[in-house]
């Protein structure tokens, strides 16, 4: 049986290129497993589902090594688990040399494949570390220039404070409070309990 695995790190990326490559290879959609999660480890819902399905003699197709993962040690370990313990094969579409289905015809061939795997795994993790370093440098530079990160603080109007206090004193109903603040129930409760925890109402007599 032939399966495929695709991965992207965030929701603003898309799987189109990987899925198109799998379709060209003739893999049916029901045999393609996708995750939208970081490659720092293998704790990914659909990847784990795929691993449970893999059997001896199956073929796992991946677009490139960094779609499998971004950790050098974990990639090497996972590759060994699939090929040596599960006894399934792996094909990297972007690097046909790493096709364990086409067994190296000599010890030298296997040696070269092992070196290529280690180099690609190193590159995958190195790119991840460089990206994190660039992000940290960018954030530090932005902070130096006065850029503030995170959600801007919610400014409570006098009207909101009075409505929240009246609700706290049970002089108005929840429906009245929502109508006056034009907030959803969950949004009102979020800010209401935030004010309650601050002790602001207890200090008002």
Task: Give the CA angle between residues 22, 34, 59 to the nearest 5°.
Answer: 50
pLDDT per residue as tens digits for the range 119-172 = 777 776 777 676 677 777 777 767 777 766 665 566 788 888 888 888 988 889
Per-position b or e across 174-191, b if 16+ CB within 10 A of its CB: eeebbebbebeeeebeeb
Q: Which residues pair with 6 in a beta bridge?
A: 34
Domains and CATH numbers, the chain: 2-128 (3.40.50.1390), 158-198 (no CATH)
Query: Could you give the C-alpha distances from 37 to 6, 10, 12, 17, 104, in angstroms and in order?
Result: 10, 6, 12, 17, 33
pTM over 0.85: no
pLDDT of residue 151: 59
Burial class, 49, CB count within 10 angstroms (exposed 0-12 / middle 13-18 / buried 19+): exposed
pLDDT at 179: 84
Token pair for residue 53? 């399905």
Residue 178: name the closest of 166, 55, 91 by CA. 166
Can you give the pLDDT at residue 32? 95
**Which residues of the chain fall below pLDDT 70?**
11-12, 102-113, 124, 128, 130-131, 141, 147-154, 202-205
Give the residue numbers annotated as catalytic, written as ranges.
9
Quickly list DSSP for 6-38. Answer: EEESSTTS--HHHHHHHHHTT--GGGEEEEES-
- Coil vs helix vs strand at 200: coil
């Amino acid at each position: 049986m032939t399966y495929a695995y695709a991965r992207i790190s965030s929701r603003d990326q898309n799987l189109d290129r990987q899925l198109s490559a799998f379709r060209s290879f003739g893999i049916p959609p029901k045999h393609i497993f996708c995750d939208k999660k970081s490659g720092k480890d293998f704790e990914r819902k659909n990847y784990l589902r795929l691993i449970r399905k893999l059997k001896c003699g199956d073929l796992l197709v991946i677009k490139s090594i960094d779609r499998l993962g971004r950790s050098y040690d974990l990639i090497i370990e996972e590759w060994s688990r699939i090929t040596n313990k599960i006894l399934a094969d792996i094909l990297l579409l972007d690097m046909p040399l790493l096709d364990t289905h086409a067994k190296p015809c000599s010890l030298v061939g296997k040696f070269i494949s092992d070196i290529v795997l280690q180099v690609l795994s190193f590159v995958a993790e190195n790119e991840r570390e460089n990206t994190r370093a660039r992000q940290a440098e960018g954030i530090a530079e932005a902070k130096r220039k006065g850029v503030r990160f995170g959600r801007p603080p919610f400014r409570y109007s006098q009207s909101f404070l009075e409505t929240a206090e009246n609700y706290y004193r049970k002089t108005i109903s929840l429906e009245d409070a929502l109508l006056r603040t034009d907030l959803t129930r969950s949004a009102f409760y979020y800010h209401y309990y935030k004010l309650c925890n601050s002790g602001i109402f207890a200090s008002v007599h």
